[in-house]
Amino acid sequence: MRGFEEAVARVGRLPRDNLNEYGFDPFGFSPDFVARIAPLAHVVYRRYFRAAAYGIEKVPTGRVILVANHSGQIPIDGMIIACAMMLDAEPPRMVRSMVEKFVPALPFVSYFMSRTGQVVGTPDNCVRLLERDETILAFPEGVAGISKTFSKRYQLQEFGHGFMRLALQTRSPIVPVAVIGGEEQAPSLYNSRAIARLFAAPSFPITPTLLPLPVKYRLYFGEPMRFKGDAEAEDRQIEPKVRSVRSTLQALVHRGLRERRHVFW
């Protein structure tokens, strides 16, 4: 029960100066709504996944882009990072992550995402959020990361360049975040492209688990990385910067794997 109260109290410490008189930001985010689900976040984060965040104090104040490896078939990794920033960071922060473009058309899911601060992943939305000094979460591997099979676990897939252009345009620091545990929560043996096409879904993993397994999640936050340059530059000029983030993140992932003694505790 103390955990519940603490979780709610931490949500209560979120800044309110960027909200309107009814407690919403222009994107529809509502700390009051988040406070209502904070106890659930506490249970999932602390009890079910027994998550641990290392180096979270390295996240600088003000605008920042968290760049993480993507895994686990369903985006629980994003939720874990968001819980960490809310329940373990000082002061608590709300992570704004990007959702797929079909999400606003889904009943219930649409407004749940909106009230919890998640926005459709258009470049314009990201820029606006960063200019409001928000914390953005990006998975540069995209679907290729989350839907990879168990045999490719913890191998970073190709990175998109969008996050780097955003960082350059808005002069935002990048903090790499290695997520350890996600690959084992729902091991995918096979990704059926045929079925995915049938449902117009990005992937259709074949996994033996119905619910994500109660693996222990570990998050490793790296040092902030700052880049300078033209956001509109050619791909070949952006590429080396992206590669340096990718290799830093891969090293962080390897460190996390080395330090891990067991998947479940």
Applying CB under 8 A, the residues found at the interface with other proteins are: 20-22, 24, 26-28, 30, 101-105, 107-108, 110-111, 114-115, 119-120, 122, 124-125, 128
As measured in angstroms, the least distance from the Cβ of 22 to other proteins is 6
Residue closer to other proteins (CB basis): 125 or 149: 125
Residue closer to other proteins (CB basis): 102 or 264: 102
Type of residue found at 51: A
Residue closer to other proteins (CB basis): 83 or 98: 98
- For 204-251, the DSSP string reads -EE-S-SSPP-PPPEEEE---B---S-TT--HHHHHHHHHHHHHHHHH
| CA distance linking residue 220 with residue 256, whole number of Å | 7
As measured in angstroms, the least distance from the Cβ of 214 to other proteins is 30
As measured in angstroms, the least distance from the Cβ of 230 to other proteins is 22
As measured in angstroms, the least distance from the Cβ of 106 to other proteins is 8
| Reduced DSSP (H G I as helix, E B as strand, rest coil) percent helix, strand, coil of the chain, to 5 | 45, 15, 45
Q: Angle formed by the axes of helices 76-87 and 2-12, to 10°?
A: 80
User: Which residues make Cβ contacts (< 8 Å) with residue 101, sequence separation at least 6?
Assistant: 120, 121, 122
Residue closer to other proteins (CB basis): 115 or 165: 115
| CA distance linking residue 25 with residue 29, whole number of Å | 5
As measured in angstroms, the least distance from the Cβ of 227 to other proteins is 24
Residue closer to other proteins (CB basis): 105 or 211: 105
